[in-house]
Amino acid sequence: MRYSLNFCSYKDKKQVARDLKTVYSAKDADDAEERLGDFEQKWGEKYLSIGQSWRRNWSQVIAFFAFPKDIRRIIYTTNAIESLNALIRKIIKSRGQFPNDDAAIKLIYLAVQNAGQVTNAGVWGWKTALNQFAIMVEDRMPNQI
């Protein structure tokens, strides 16, 4: 999505993003392809490169539709992931150098453990997605959950 929005002007970004959201929030891959066709009809003349980019990477996009809707929502909501990455970068940057790889791994582990204490806001829809994960990959879910 972000890559796609690099190709459009500021005045069109909101509408292009809204129209692309219909693609990745479709109920299945066939519906998404139909919605991508609608997007290309509407914006194809002005932003041809966006549609071409989505078509080139279509095999990666349709893999996304193998998951239930609740899990897909968690996957494309990246704020929690970006927040964790920023926290890890901040901790590593402030440390500077590490005597060995184990020291870096331990610091990252502690940062991830403390990340839950830093933020009070949960990821919207996480409990529903967790239930879906438990059904899909029951044998890989830890007993603690």
Question: Could you give the CA distance from residue 129 to residue 68 in angstroms, rounded to a whole number?
Answer: 9
pTM over 0.85: no
Q: What percent of the chain has pLDDT over 70?
A: 85
90 occurs within a structural domain: yes
Same-domain check for residues 98 and 125: yes
Same-domain check for residues 59 and 79: no
Q: Are 62 and 32 in contact (CB under 8 A)?
A: yes
Query: Tokens 């901040």 appear where?
Result: 90
Query: Among 47, 65, 83, which residue terminates a domain?
Result: 65
Same-domain check for residues 36 and 83: no
Q: Which domain holds residue 30?
A: 2-65
Same-domain check for residues 61 and 83: no
Q: pLDDT tens for residues 58-107? A: 998 888 888 887 777 777 666 667 778 888 888 888 887 889 999 989 99
